[in-house]
Structure 1
Amino acid sequence: MKNLKPIVYGMAFLAAAGLTQCKGHEEKPATETTAKMDSVSITKSSFGKTAKGEAIDSYKLKNAKGMEVDVITYGGIITHLLAPDKDGKLADVVTGFNDIAQYEKPNPYFGALIGRYGNRIGKGKFTIDGQSYQLPTNDGPNALHGGPEGFHRVVWTAEEAKGGDVASLKLKYVAKDGEQGYPGNLTVFVTYTLNNANELSVVYEATTDKATIVNLTQHTYFNLTGDFNQTILDHEVVIDANEIVPVDATLIPTGKLEKVDGTAFDFRQAKKVGKDIEAKEDQLIKGKGYDHCWVLNNQGRGVRFAASAYDAKSGRLLEVFTDQPGIQFYTGNFLDGTLPQRNGGTYGHRTGFCLETQHYPDGPNQANFPNTVLKPGETYQTQTQFKFSVK
């Protein structure tokens, strides 16, 4: 797997950004501690305990403009993200729950880190160097998002870092050889960094002691209106991709790529999500809407623009930059009104969307797809940035 260069306040966040560790949090008896910085802050508090009795911490990253990002150590989940609208009013633009008990119940990966392998693997099977592996199948006949007990359901350790205008949280998890069927002891680091330009970066790093497959991503659902009683169908989306990865009836890639020209999947120019989502196209019918991986342009050129979403009413604009080859655009097709919102009500059909930067689904079984095998001595390293602004 090709090594990728870290961004200045990402994986090398202690050195390259001139940051220093915030020490002493574990030693303090108080339930809430704050690491003050020149213009940003990190606040640590308790988020309760899991059913197994594991203590879960919550970290609030806040910048000088008031933008806030809350991350819990269970699943590395982003529970809140407050972003300003065109009038400067802050609102939470991500789905989430109020307590750890709700996150432990079945849910569609709200805000979670996904691994070892994001997206689907056909029949849960793959082969490395002649050795076959069988994963748990948790999405019909296929394996999805690392399995039923993937990275979204484990407790990560956390380390804070501080610098003049950035706040960083570095999470760590060690997945054991054979965990969820995957080979190799995999050491994973994920660093969330918020700066004063309202940019949230997510940097991933992993090493292994045995050849394995890795495809990490972030599964936050956004609704830029800040009102989850509204759908995301009026959001204007751009995706810098000339092709998609078409899928079969079980949402596994066919192995071929298809041009977006003349189809409902053409988002090269800004288009409302709802404009073509009900089109009678084979791929839309299979996904019950948009639930596909787009083949991003300009691959091999490092971090570059991948996609954006804009809500005209609030003026909020989200831009996504990444070094990954693909992005899964999902429009909340399976949200069905059964999950509770934080402030009452429920999350209804298409009230949130995801932009998951990643390698293509079923990559280990598709010879012409980008490589997802990580071997001992190599480092999996990738980065994505979510930039918030208004217009």
Structure 2
Amino acid sequence: MNLSRRTVIASTAAAGVAATALGGTAEASSGRRPVKTLFGKLADGTKIYSWALENGGTRLKVLSWGGVVQSLELPDRHGRYANVSLGFDNIEDYVAKTPYFGALIGRYGNRIGKGQFTLDGKKYQVNVNDGVNSLHGGIKGFDKHVWNVEPFVKGSDVGLYLHYTSVDGEMGYPGTLKVKVTYTLTKRGEWRIDYEATTTKATVVNLTSHVYWNLAGESSGTIEDHELTIAAARYTPTDSGLIPTGQLAKVSGTPFDFRKTKAIGRDIRAAHPQQVQAKGYDHNWVLDKGITAKPVHVATLRDPRSGRTLKIATDQPGLQFYSGNFLDGTLTGTGGRTYRQGDALCLETQHFPDSPNQPSFPSTVLRPGQTYRTTTIHTFDA
């Protein structure tokens, strides 16, 4: 019988079952103050801390390095826990090897063609780190900095405030950008991300989170049997460098149509030229709702084996679906197994890639006196 996640949590708690270790059984939890522990040290001796949060049956571990989600544990339909996000068990791999596992991304999530854009008549060259293009802020984006972390408990919610100041000219971007990101676990076990930023000069900003999801559990194998729904009738095709062409193409009749739920593996190896050059899915979906004042449900991911379900709500106009195409067996994760192609996927809420060079795309310009604000909510069930 398929019980709701909250029913499982309540029934196991009534039986007095403790859930203290990975693979344990779910029990009800209320907002407790986050627990801080030493995760490791950088080469210069800087200490990197891990913050453990738990609420509503969801367990989250966050690092001060890059705001990384090091693990996110959820119960399955039987109340058994598993970590559903890819990551490492040591800081050295996060510094030297990570493909953005669980990281906060900025200043500009996704790609900017040739690392160039013009703003108010001035041309800017930002750091390139993906061939001739800039990806996720450059060689040293927000994922490769130490964030200041403050824990909080507010009523039934528990969470972290993460702060980082990007100085004027960092990675070539104009303006000193002050960033505040709030991670909140609600009493229902939802994970909410609130992004805020202000700038001293006109600049471009596109912040997102880069969690690699496998709802069956990290190191459990392929996500091709996961079922996905995306509320989008169009997507942005790309050139060979994965830079949008500017076209908003219809998904109808293509492997990119996820308006009705389907298994990811059904069309992942189709001969569509967009998939051939991306080695799978690595595209931005143009969400039907557009930009909204409040988060709106846009995507659902479900693992039929465990029953775990992820629903995503956002106020952003785009969603990047990346099917883990470049995982190549060279990285060993927290479960002690290597990660291979298709062992996880990313669903990144965002503005469109290369927006600074695409006049028809929604603007990502932030000016002094304005505040960048956006919210994404992850709701879990089983």
* Same fold? TM cut 0.5: yes
| 1:290 corresponds to 2:284 | no
Is the 1:229–1:347 contact (alpha carbons within 8 Å) kept by the matching residues of 2? no
Q: Deviations over 1:192-249 (max 9, x none)?
A: 0001212000110000000000000000001000142410000000001000011011
Alpha-carbon distance between aligned partners in 2 of 1:265 and 1:130, rounded to the nearest angstrom = 37
Choose the corresponding residue for 1:172, options 154, 163, 181.
Answer: 163
The partner residue of 2:63 within 72, 76, 79 is 72
Aligned match of 2:226: 235
Does the 8 Å CA contact 1:246/1:256 hold for their aligned counterparts? yes
Aligned to 1:318: 310
Match of 1:193? 184
Instruction: Report the 3-state secondary structure (helix = DSSP H, G, I; strand = E; otherwise coil) of the residue aligned with 2:93.
Output: helix
Structure 1 residue 218 corresponds to structure 2 residue 209: yes
Pick from 258, 275, 293: which aligns with 2:266?
A: 275
Partner of 1:379: 371
Q: Which segment is superposed worse, 161-170 or 274-283?
A: 161-170
What percentage of residue pairs aligned between the two structures are identical? 51
Tell me how far apart the structure 1 counterparts of residues 79 and 85 of structure 2 sit (CA, whole Å): 18
Tell me which residue corresponds to 1:14: none
Q: After superposition, give the CA deviation of every residue in 1:121-152 in whole Å (9 maximum; x if it has no partner).
A: 00000011011111121111100000010000
Q: Secondary structure at the match of 1:210?
A: coil
Q: Which ranges in structure 1 are unaligned for 5 or more consecutive residues?
A: 1-36
Give the alignment's TM-score, normalised by structure 2. Answer: 0.91
Distance 1:369 1:64 in 2: 38
- Is 2:136 aligned against 1:145? yes
Distance in 2 separating the partners of 1:166 and 1:147: 34
Q: Secondary structure at 2:94's aligned position in 1?
A: helix
- What 5-or-longer segments of structure 2 have no aligned partner? 1-28
Alignment partner of 2:322 out of 316, 326, 330: 330
**2:153 alignment partner in structure 1:** 162
Q: Return closer, same or farther for 1:79/1:38 CA change in 2, 3 Å cut-off.
A: closer
Say which of 34, 55, 65 aligns to 1:63: 55
**What is the deviation of 1:38?**
5.6
In structure 2, what is the Cα distance between the partners aligned to 1:147 and 1:98?
Answer: 24
The whole-number CA distance in structure 1 between the counterparts of 2:46 and 2:203 is 28
State the Cα distance separating 1:107 from its structure 2 match: 2.0
SS at structure 2 position matched to 1:41: coil
Partners of 2:283 and 2:270 in 1: how far apart?
Answer: 15
In 2, Cα distance between equivalents of 1:378 and 1:337: 44
Contact 1:113–1:152 (CA under 8 A) maintained in structure 2: yes
State how far apart, in whole Å, the 2-side matches of 1:47 and 1:251 are.
35
Q: Which residue matches 1:352?
A: 344
Q: Deviations over 1:308-356 (max 9, x none)?
A: 1101110000000000000000000000010012232201111010000
Distance in 1, matches of 2:277 and 2:233, equals: 20
**CA–CA distance in 2 between the matches of 1:326 and 1:286?**
21
2-side partners of 1:96 and 1:38: how far apart? 26
